[in-house]
Amino acid sequence: MNIGEAAAASGVSAKMIRHYERIGLLPQAQRSAAGYRRYDERDVHTLRFVRHARDLGFPLERIRDLIGLWHDRERPSRQVKALAREHLAAIDAKLAELQAVKATLERLVQCCHGDERPDCPILDRLAGERPGG
């Protein structure tokens, strides 16, 4: 299949397919006599794997590791679990960070009168000032 067909079958855009080839996440495509990229079902399966891993937020380097483990039928599952746990810890850290940002923004919104007065603790905080001071 051509790149457009592979994109439609995998849910990965043609631009991203070319990018994944360029960075070595996907093997270089075979070429037709006219020089067009050609893909087979294995390529599409790999692209779906990458898309699902990206949907779970795995960074590209970890996806590279996961693909290697996926293709290695002798690998112990503990290696896969370790990568997933590492990613889960990163997500937990990001969630904690986002919750702290949310709490700060909620406090600022509560402090802002939202009326005709020009004073605004939200703008003060963005300018590096403490609200109310």
DSSP states along 22-87: HTTSSPPPEE-TTS-EE--HHHHHHHHHHHHHHHTT--HHHHHHHHHHHH-TT--HHHHHHHHHHH
**Which pLDDT score, from 0 to 100, does residue 117 have?**
87
Q: Work out the average pLDDT over 113-123.
A: 90
Domains defined for the chain, CATH in brackets? 1-58 (1.10.1660.10)
Q: Cα separation of 69 and 85, whole Å?
A: 15
Quick: pLDDT tens for 42-82: 999 999 999 999 999 999 999 999 999 999 999 999 999 99
Tell me the sheet residues that pair with 37. 31
